């Protein structure tokens, strides 16, 4: 079992969290997961839209105290 990569995009504003996510997903193999952490207020909408349009699966969204954590499956 591989470790799940954690991508910290806290402090970054739109569109940087999604751009970093896209670049990180390009380096993964199909079926691998990544965790994105972001605190930009529009990140939930941006990440959901990106996953739908790029064909990846947004598995889970978890609101933490200071950021939102997204678990994304590369398809």
Q: What confidence tens digit (pLDDT) does each residue in 12-55 have?
A: 999 999 999 999 999 999 999 999 999 999 999 999 999 999 99
10, 67 contact by CB (below 8 A)? yes
pTM of the prediction?
A: 0.93
Q: If 0-12 CB within 10 Å is exposed, 13-18 middle and 19+ buried, where does residue 54 land?
A: middle
| 15's tokens | 């569109």
Q: How confident is the model at residue 3 (pLDDT cuts 50, 70, 90)?
A: confident
Q: Is 14 a catalytic residue?
A: yes
pLDDT at 56: 98
* pLDDT at residue 6, as a whole number: 97
Domain-wise residue ranges, the chain? 5-73
pLDDT at 65: 96
Catalytic residue among 5, 10, 12, 14: 14
Q: Which is the CATH superfamily of the domain at 5-73?
A: TusA-like domain (3.30.110.40)
């Amino acid at each position: 079992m591989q470790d799940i990569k954690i991508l910290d995009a806290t402090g970054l504003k739109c569109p940087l969290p999604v751009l970093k996510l896209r670049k990180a997903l390009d380096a993964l193999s199909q079926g691998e997961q990544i965790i994105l952490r972001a605190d930009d207020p529009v990140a939930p909408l941006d990440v959901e839209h990106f996953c739908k349009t790029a064909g990846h699966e947004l598995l889970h969204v978890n609101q933490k105290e200071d950021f939102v954590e997204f678990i994304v499956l590369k398809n």
